[in-house]
Amino acid sequence: DVSPVVAGLIGATVLVVSVSVTVFVWTCCHQQAEKKHKTPPYKFIHMLKGISIYPETLSNKKKINRIRRDKNGTPKETGRGNLLVDAAESGLIGSDKAPDGPNAAPHVDQLPIKVDYGDELSPDQSLTPGGSKTSSPSSPGDDIMLGELTFSVDYNFPKKALVVTIQEAHGLPVMDEHTQSSDPYIKMTILPDKRHRVKTRVLRKTLDPVFDETFTFYGIPYSQLQDLVLHFLVLSFDRFSRDDVIGEVMVPLAGVDPSTGKVQLTREILKRNIQKCISRGELQVSLSYQPVAQRMTVVVLKARHLPKMDITGLSDPYVKVNVYYGRKRIAKKKTHVKKCTLNPVFNESFIYDIPVDLLPDISIEFLVIDFDRTTKNEVVGRLILGAHSVTAGGVEHWQEVCENPRKPVAKWHSLSEY
């Protein structure tokens, strides 16, 4: 004999357990079904020293994992998406390290710089602060040998795949004065589409790195190889600021014939020519400085002729504003995302309290970024005004702002590659 209360408790418990098990089984089945139907935006395989990082077979039903790198440069595997170059968004590059000693510049953490803004401007998904950076307002001098890069190019006809193996580099310059060495890695892009962007792992404290990494790109017809150009960007990892750009190598495949087998190539690493960077659209910004209040007002007005980043032929752009004192980023803010447009109008302002005596060492970086909910946000282009400006228009704009206090100065600037 069981009392009605005990019987009721037993019945309720059985019901709850049954519902929980049913929901759990349904969720597992639903997730498994979603995984089977997902396909990557494009397919490629990354081989590290002859071992495939992606163990799945190359069928349309399989998805390709993505390799990301942690702060130490160690490859780390994530579950979905494709390998994209980390967006450039923190620190400014330079060959000089921060001085030490009693005559050194004041520490940036003690600077009285703060940001005033009306409401929250950050989108739901932002870029990683420790992401690697790919461009530099300063590069090694013309008289410095930048070394050589050795790689090979092959083509797999049955699978319509271009196979590029980054083997090694020799004679790289010293980028870290403290260790008298460098921490090199290489970013590779297939031009002109820039669809495939990959990078090697970081090798620590070496001027003669041996990468031995193979990237296999699928879906590239052999007839199109003559129109493609391999772009290798050689960088040195910097834990505390923007990575240093050592140089670049451009290899048109029009002069390479991998039809008879693997082609071994060695090319000299050349200084990166920033002036040859392809324009990525234009950005209009306004700056004004109040010397009495010691306040800089930055207004992101609008952009035009941005490149198409989505399959719809449009983009979802927003602008990230980074403020630097020397090579240290001291403030960052973002505008709202403008959906489905190549000519966005932002009209958003940011106010920074900056002492007059610090203006010569202040730089303002504008990163136009394409927002994406499913994959990593991509940097469309960048603009630098201030101490580290690399264009004549940027230098002229900054000088006009400093020479005309209390006057808003608005100008259009071409965005450069990041």
- What pLDDT shows up at residue 48? 62
Last residue of a domain, one of 210, 241, 271: 271
Whether residues 252 and 298 share a domain: the answer is: no
Structural domain includes residue 28:
no
Same domain, 292 and 401: yes
In this structure, the chain runs to a length of 418
- Give per-residue pLDDT as tens, 82-113: 333 333 333 344 434 344 444 444 433 334 44
Domain extent at residue 159 = 147-271
C-alpha 123 chain-centroid distance: 17
Among 250, 271, 292, give the residue marking a domain's end.
271
pLDDT at site 44 = 54
333 and 410 in a single domain? The answer is: yes
What CATH code is carried by the domain that includes residue 208?
2.60.40.150
Same-domain check for residues 267 and 285: no
337 and 244 in a single domain? The answer is no
Specify if 336 maps to a domain: yes
Longest dimension (CA), the chain: 98
In a domain, 105, yes or no: no
pLDDT, tens digit (0-9, with 9 covering 90-100), for 177-223: 788 888 999 998 888 776 677 889 999 989 999 999 988 888 888 88
378 and 267, same domain (yes or no): no
Taking the chain (418 residues) in runs of 10, the rounded mean pLDDT of each run is 80 90 88 62 54 44 40 44 36 40 40 38 33 38 72 89 90 84 89 77 91 87 85 86 83 84 89 60 92 92 85 84 88 91 92 89 92 82 87 88 91 83
Domain identity same for 221 and 312? no
Cα–Cα distance for residue pair 176/414, rounded to 1 Å: 32
| Residue 118 pLDDT | 34
Considering the domain architecture, whether residues 328 and 246 belong to the same structural domain is answered as no
Report how far apart, in Å, the C-alpha atoms of 11 and of each of 2, 18, 294 are. Answer: 12, 11, 72
Q: Are residues 238 and 346 in the same domain?
A: no
User: Tell me: the pLDDT tens digits for 104-145?
Assistant: 444 333 344 443 433 333 333 333 333 333 333 333 344 467
Cis bond leading into 192, ω under 30°? yes
94 lies in some domain: no
Give the total number of structural domains in the chain: 2
Q: Residue 50's pLDDT is what?
A: 55
pLDDT of residue 60: 37
Residue 170 within a domain: yes
Domain-ending residue, one of 218, 243, 271? 271
Q: What is the structure's pLDDT at 2?
A: 67
Report pTM.
0.44
